[in-house]
């Protein structure tokens, strides 16, 4: 008898676990996570020994960037997105990318000219400009977006509403090129997927009746899903561009406390509050990370608060000791444009906080 129970135990466990797993699947929350990069430390400086960001440079220039956008749907029939929905996504992308003040963003028009877009004026500090007065662009950003909608039909049991999932997959292929030489700099592809649950029960004629949940026929509902996916893709692109073109500022001074200081760039050139930067210098041998700092940005200049000094690095520790002993030397070196003047470079591209908001 005991042996019989033992032999049947795995079956009993399976029967107990299986319904629980199905319940977990039914109750699984919709995916509202942000891009992996935003969660894995691309936004925050990692713990441990600090390093100077790649492509830090010593001079800042606001790059002009021209957008070439194409957006399509890969789905047909009732799940296909309407031309209006696609156009709304295009405008959304152009408008939001213009908020990256690291760049002066232009959009391509149907006549083949590119200019600052009138529709973007409400974003702030963007004025319409004719093609004739436009300088040659520094960068061309080709963006090809394809959106696929798939329906995973659930099975209704004993007249109860079955769960059907609508999967929205947003694929963005980007290619960055030199605006003057047309030379390709780099390409990348980003993919984000989101689903919504619909609950239906069988109706007459083999059709299903809608009982609740997400309504895929409601244009406003669909647009909210697409904008959530679009924001994730904007973050993906911002992080990618931020590695290629970080914002580098000059450190104008460090206060006597050794805990805060100032920068010669502000929000007009792309900085935002709470953005993390690396304070660094070049001793003539190699760039050396000295501290991690958090930014308080105003229009044309910023303050920073030291989060931690890079005392784990022995070479940096000597320099840090000198700075703490005589903070005034930092201001003096800045004013005299000395080669030992300190710089600060963003760890990631500053972008609007609203992009991180989940629906």
User: What six digits make up the tokens of 165?
Assistant: 């999932």
Instruction: Tell me the pLDDT tens digit for each residue of 44-59.
Output: 898 889 999 999 987 7
Res. 33: pLDDT tops 70: no
Alpha-carbon span 222 to 234, nearest angstrom: 18
Domain for residue 290, yes or no? yes
| CA-to-CA separations, 145 to 87, 89, 102, 159, 189, in angstroms, rounded | 12, 10, 23, 40, 10
Q: Are 237 and 110 members of one domain? A: yes
Instruction: Tell me the pLDDT tens digit for each residue of 66-105.
Output: 888 899 988 777 777 888 888 888 888 888 988 899 998 8
User: What six digits make up the tokens of 272?
Assistant: 């935002």
> Looking at residue 9, what is its pLDDT?
43
> Looking at residue 358, what is its pLDDT?
54
Domain for residue 25, yes or no? no
> Looking at residue 248, what is its pLDDT?
96
Q: Are 237 and 253 members of one domain? A: no
Where is average pLDDT lowest: 22-36, 319-333, 338-352? 22-36
Res. 196: pLDDT tops 70: yes
The DSSP-derived string for 60-71 is ---EEEEEEEEE
Where is average pLDDT lowest: 4-8, 186-190, 284-288? 4-8
Q: Mean pLDDT over residues 25-39, rounded?
A: 42
Res. 296: pLDDT tops 60: yes
Q: Mean pLDDT over residues 224-230, rounded?
A: 91
Q: Are 240 and 254 members of one domain? A: no
Alpha-carbon span 57 to 79, nearest angstrom: 48
> With contact defined as beta carbons under 8 Å apart, do 46 and 292 qualify?
no
**Domain range holding 226?**
62-245
Of 214, 245, 276, which residue constitutes the final position of a domain?
Answer: 245
Read off the pTM.
Answer: 0.78
Res. 63: pLDDT tops 70: yes
Q: In the chain, which ranges are E strands? A: 63-73, 103-108, 114-115, 139-152, 162-178, 184-202, 208-213, 248-254, 260-263, 276-282, 287-297, 302-309, 343-346
> Looking at residue 79, what is its pLDDT?
73
Of 245, 260, 279, which residue constitutes the final position of a domain?
Answer: 245
Decide: helix, strand or coil at residue 315: helix
Decide: helix, strand or coil at residue 287: strand
Domain for residue 239, yes or no? yes
Helices (H), the chain: 2-26, 36-39, 83-97, 219-244, 314-325, 328-335
> Looking at residue 344, what is its pLDDT?
97
Domain for residue 17, yes or no? no
- What is the number of residues in the chain? 359
Res. 129: pLDDT tops 60: no
Instruction: Tell me the pLDDT tens digit for each residue of 267-278.
Output: 999 999 999 999
| CA-to-CA separations, 122 to 126, 153, 349, in angstroms, rounded | 8, 42, 22
> Looking at residue 116, what is its pLDDT?
56
């Amino acid at each position: 008898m005991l042996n019989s129970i033992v032999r049947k135990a795995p079956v009993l466990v399976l029967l107990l676990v299986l319904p629980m797993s199905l319940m977990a699947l039914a109750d699984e929350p919709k995916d509202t996570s942000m891009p992996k990069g935003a969660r894995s430390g691309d936004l925050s400086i990692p713990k441990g020994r600090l390093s100077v960001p790649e492509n830090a440079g010593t001079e800042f220039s606001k790059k002009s960037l021209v957008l070439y956008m194409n957006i399509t749907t890969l789905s047909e029939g009732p799940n296909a997105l309407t031309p209006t929905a696609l156009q709304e996504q295009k405008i959304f992308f152009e408008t939001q990318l213009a908020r990256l003040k690291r760049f002066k963003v232009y959009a391509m028009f149907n006549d083949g000219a590119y200019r600052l877009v009138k529709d973007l004026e409400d974003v702030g500090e963007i004025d319409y400009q004719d093609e004739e007065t436009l300088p040659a662009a520094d960068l061309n950003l080709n963006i090809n977006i394809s959106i696929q909608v798939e329906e995973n039909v659930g099975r209704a049991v004993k007249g109860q509403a079955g769960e059907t999932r609508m999967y929205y997959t947003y694929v963005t292929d980007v290619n960055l090129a030199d605006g003057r030489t047309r030379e390709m700099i780099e390409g990348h592809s980003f993919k984000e997927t989101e689903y919504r649950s619909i609950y239906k029960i069988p109706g007459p004629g083999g059709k299903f009746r809608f009982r609740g949940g997400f309504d895929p026929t409601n244009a406003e509902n669909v647009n909210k899903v697409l904008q959530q996916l679009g924001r994730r893709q904007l973050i993906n692109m911002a992080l990618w561009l931020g590695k290629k073109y970080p914002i580098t500022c000059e450190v104008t001074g460090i206060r006597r406390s050794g805990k805060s200081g100032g920068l010669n760039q502000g929000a007009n050139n792309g900085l935002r509050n709470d953005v993390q930067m690396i304070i660094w210098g070049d001793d003539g041998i190699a760039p050396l990370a000295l501290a991690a700092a958090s930014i308080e940005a105003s229009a044309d200049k910023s303050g920073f608060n030291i989060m931690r000094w890079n005392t784990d690095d022995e070479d940096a520790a000597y320099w840090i000791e000198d700075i703490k002993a005589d903070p005034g030397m930092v201001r003096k070196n800045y004013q005299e444009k000395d080669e030992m003047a300190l710089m600060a470079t963003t760890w990631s591209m500053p972008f609007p906080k609203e992009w991180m908001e989940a629906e």
